[in-house]
Chains A and B, each alone.
Chain A
Amino acid sequence: MARTTFFDQVSANKRNSFLMAAFVVAVLGALGFAIGYAMFGEPVAGVGTTGVALAVGGLSAVGTYFAGDKLVLSVSGAKAVDERSAPQLLNVVREMAIAANIPMPAVYVIDDTAPNAFATGRDPQHASIAVTTGLLEKLDREELQGVIGHELSHVRNFDIRFTLIVGVMVGAIAILADFFLRFTFWGGGRRSRGRDGGGGAQLIVFVIAIVLAILAPIVARIIQLSVSRQREYLADASAVELTRNPYGLERALAKISGDPEVLEVANRGTQHMYFTNPIKKFEARSSGLWSTHPPIVERINRLRQLTGDPPLNAPESALMAGLE
């Protein structure tokens, strides 16, 4: 693996995630166009159906956008802390907020022995960060700084907003595909004839639309998870940009991966938000397409690209992945 700088890693991660998001937009556009044309014989109908799907998907997102962070914090059992109850944690958060040039977020602690953390909030002015008591006990100051740097980078890079937008589009794809497939199989083949008389072209597009309607939701979901992983790598590289200390974050990742404790309050709905995937068996299988987080081994090796250290060898990797 060639040595890189965090500048390069940051721009590469941003570029890749935007390309993937653009691809999802393209899939949504293609699906909408195909469905509109197949159903109504007019390409412009595709715009209409896509618009409706986006509106429906968008409505559900509005609630998440404005109130989502409070909901997530209460579901996770997070309690607010201040200078007197957690001085060192607040100091570390303040240091990272200065380095990132964002306002100080609200800080919460979750009472659980499993070490983990998450950040939430639609923009840096409305951000919250939560860490577990397990994290505070098990990590030293440098490692804690790396984790907090990672979480505040999610805030600074507007990741919550970015993943929400991607989520709305993926949701719109699912709504459109679902609607179209139901329409086809329940409503029968009653299609209006377009200006060009419908016929052969419309039938071909109809078949394409069905194929897209089946495949698009799966493809979109895979890309959505890939975007999530790219933003995790971006947060790691941005954390190094803040702390200028890749070793702290690397040691934190190694310590957390070796910890057997399970985070009680996490579930499939909230897993994507945490520093490492809190669902142990997902973490172990995370080398595939279907995971929200990259494997910890990969994250460590990317950090080693910054320092020029050799990547983890096979026995170390296996140990870290819990396969030993």
Chain B
Amino acid sequence: MDNLPLIIVAVVLVLLVVVAIGIYNGLVQRRLRIDEAFAQIEVQLKRRHDLIPNLVNAVKGYMGFEQKVLTDVTNARAQAVAAGAQGPAQQAAAENVLTSTLRSLFAVVENYPELKANQNVLELQEQLTTTENQISFSRQHYNATVLDYNTSIQVFPNVLLAGPLGFTRREFFDAEPEAANVPTVDLSLS
């Protein structure tokens, strides 16, 4: 009978430990999802690298006057592939440059009716459109996992455990700063 307070304290402590384990596991899972989402972005970026040479070959014949746009794309692609080994920040910057060169290329293709009607080019354009979409949806999903994780380390009661256990905020994937610029379409004969 006089052990009752002790028993109650013991039960409460056990419950607290169980809850803490649950919180810890939840945070670990959410953090792992972020890493998985990031890896998925890489997959999409590589896919884009592989598609670009085909696109450039398909349009080269028709776009005799637009060599600058084509060489911009080819160079940007090479830079992006190389940047893969240099770390995430350089990689992101190089991929963003590649995105804007591709946008310029699409803008130029709009002015060539024969190109727009060419089946090969249409297929490749669809491939590139879907690749760009897949990249941005991968990034969107990545941001969703980061949001979920950042929220769970900040709400109560998780916030009590997150700091001591080493769970820190993760960064969102920002759109390229150049996204604010309209792509310039260089139609000069060069």
Chain A contact residues, CB within 8 Å of chain B: 87-88, 91-92, 94-96, 98-101, 141, 242, 244
CB-CB nearest 6 A-B residue pairs: A91-B130, A99-B137, A95-B133, A98-B137, A101-B141, A95-B137
B residues less than 8 Å from A99 (CB atoms): 137, 140-141
Which B residue sits closest to A91, measured CB to CB? B130
A residues less than 8 Å from B40 (CB atoms): 98
B residues 119-154 in Cβ contact with A at 8 Å:
123, 126-127, 129-130, 133-134, 137-138, 140-141
Tell me the number of A-to-B contacts counted with CB atoms below 8 Å: 32
Query: Would you call B130 and A244 a contact (CB within 8 A)?
Result: no
A residues less than 8 Å from B140 (CB atoms): 99, 244
Determine the main DSSP class of B at the interface with A.
helix
Sort chain B's interface into a size bin.
10 to 19
Cβ contacts A to B, 22 pairs, < 8 Å: A87-B123, A87-B126, A88-B130, A91-B126, A91-B127, A91-B129, A91-B130, A94-B134, A95-B133, A95-B134, A96-B137, A98-B40, A98-B137, A98-B138, A98-B141, A99-B137, A99-B140, A100-B141, A101-B37, A101-B141, A141-B129, A244-B140
Q: Whole-angstrom distance between the alpha carbons of A95 and B129 in the complex?
A: 10
B residues less than 8 Å from A100 (CB atoms): 141
| Nearest CB of B to A277, in Å | 29
Q: Whole-angstrom distance between the alpha carbons of A55 and B4 in the complex?
A: 44
Q: Other than the known A92-B130, A99-B140, A100-B141, what 5 A-B pairs have Cβ atoms closer than 8 Å?
A: A91-B133, A94-B134, A95-B130, A95-B134, A98-B44
Which A residue sits closest to B145, measured CB to CB? A101
Q: Whole-angstrom distance between the alpha carbons of A92 and B14 in the complex?
A: 50
B residues less than 8 Å from A87 (CB atoms): 123, 126
| Nearest CB of B to A122, in Å | 23
